[in-house]
Structure 1
């Protein structure tokens, strides 16, 4: 409830001008709820993105797929596109670090055994770079085109 409230306020004004009182009121919670769970608005945005990814990941049974599976890459880009409005707001207002932190969390799952691994760092920063480039260039390519780029041209050339 805090994440959607913050994004709603960001659509009205720059995040730096959003007060915690406004945020709490919009979310229908007390100020203490925010401070009990988050140390910054950026942390709140990261948590929102991770929570949304976890639901999407579960809905599409993505944990059952190897990270190198092309369908997983496709689903990742479809997910990013499904949050286009939210992502555009964060990019426009300079909060891409929240997106990167979410990517780091998503790809370094402890249950996947990649915490602190080079593989996790490569995936997080690589996907983040592609994502930001894609968004800043107006989302011109389809998720299918980006997934093919990742699984074929890029990783295929590096790993193969």
Structure 2
């Protein structure tokens, strides 16, 4: 997948989603808003959900690199804090996806993000557990109006999941 296409098309899709439901966004309209040809969309993505997932993963990886999160153990509370800060930084996008019933794209992004963590021999099971658990926490947090701070969410995760 092209980083350029993901960035341009992903940004354009969220702008369009703010105007109308994703089901009503045409590929022609999306490509025009992104300033790319239709072929760029079809060369890189098979669906709008795939585009949403790729956009979230790409944004996470940039954030992860910027904050050097791979240097921290997966269970490190700072890594959890950064995760919640990242989710909150995309509040507008996340709210649009939840409002329009596109939580599958968010879950798919979580699965991708967690599966590339260093989780050892039984990593597949642990990755699934963590991805679905974090997804559940995230959706509950977002649907609750983001009332808790990232620090409060981190404390919850640290105490309940990692035992800190």
User: Given the two structures, how large is their TM-score scaled by the length of structure 1?
Assistant: 0.94
Gaps of 5+ in 2: 1-7
Q: CA deviation at 1:112?
A: 2.5
**Structure 1 segments of 4+ aligned residues over 4 angstroms from their partners:** 113-116
CA contact (8 A) 2:54 2:109 kept: yes
State the Cα RMSD in Å: 1.5
Q: Distance in 2 between matches of 1:126 and 1:86?
A: 20
2:29 to 16, 22, 30: 22
1:144 to 136, 140, 151: 151
Q: Distance in 1 between matches of 2:36 and 2:86?
A: 28
Are 1:112 and 2:118 matched, yes or no? yes
User: CA offsets, 1:68-103, max 9 Å, x none?
Assistant: 000000000000000000000000000000000000
CA contact (8 A) 2:119 2:126 kept: no
Q: CA deviation at 1:153?
A: 2.4
Q: Distance in 1 between matches of 2:70 and 2:123?
A: 19
Q: Distance in 1 between matches of 2:17 and 2:89?
A: 18
Gaps of 5+ in 1: none
